[in-house]
Amino acid sequence: MEKPHPHKLKECAELYFSQSGRREPTNRDALITSFTPLIKYIAGRLAARLPTHIALDDLISCGIIGLIDAIDKFDPAKEVLFKTYAEFRIKGAMLDELRSLDWVPRSVRRKIHELEEVYAEQEKRLGRPATDEEIALALHLDMEGFHRLLDETKAVTFMDIDLLHQEAALPKEASLADSLFQDDQEDPFTKISLTEFRTKVAQAIGSLPEKEKLTVSLYYAEEMTMKEIGQVLGYTESRISQMHSKAMLRLRARLRREIES
Number of domains in the chain: 2
Answer yes or no: do 143 and 215 share one domain.
Answer: yes
Tens of pLDDT along 118-152?
999 999 999 999 999 999 999 999 999 999 999 88
- 127 or 52, which is more confident: 127
CA-based torsion, 222, 228, 232, 235: positive or negative? positive
Residues 25, 136, single domain; the answer is: no
* 120 shares its domain with 233: yes
CA distances from 16 to 12, 64, 170, 177 (A): 7, 17, 31, 20
CATH number of the structural domain spanning residue 97: 1.10.1740.10
Is there a single domain that holds both residue 22 and residue 130? no
Alpha helices in the chain (DSSP H): 6-16, 28-47, 56-73, 82-101, 106-126, 132-138, 143-153, 161-167, 176-180, 188-206, 210-216, 226-233, 237-260
- Do 86 and 130 belong to one domain? no
89 and 113 co-located in one domain? no
Residue 61 lies in a domain: yes
Which tens digits make up the pLDDT trace of 239-249? 999 999 999 89
95 occurs within a structural domain:
yes
What's the rounded Cα separation, in Å, for the pair 4 and 190?
Answer: 33
Q: How far apart are alpha carbons 76 and 179 in whole angstroms?
A: 16
In a domain? residue 59:
yes
Residues 149 and 197 in one domain: yes
Query: Quick check: is 1 in a domain?
Result: no
For the chain, give the mean pLDDT.
Answer: 80
Please identify, among 52, 74, 101, the residue that sits at the C-terminal boundary of a domain.
101
What CATH number has the domain bearing residue 202? 1.20.140
End position of a domain, from candidates 49, 70, 101: 101
Final residue before a domain boundary, out of 51, 74, 101: 101
Residues 118 and 227 placed together within one structural domain of the fold: yes
- 176 and 151 inside one domain: yes
User: Residue 173: inside a domain, yes or no?
Assistant: yes
pLDDT at 167 over 70: no
Same-domain status, 118 and 233: yes
Q: Are residues 168 and 53 in the same domain?
A: no
Together in a domain, 137 and 216? yes
pLDDT at 13 over 90: no
Range of the domain at 28: 6-101
Please report whether residue 72 resides in a domain.
yes
pLDDT of res. 128: 93
pLDDT above 90 (res 30): no
Distance CA 156, CA 7 (A): 32
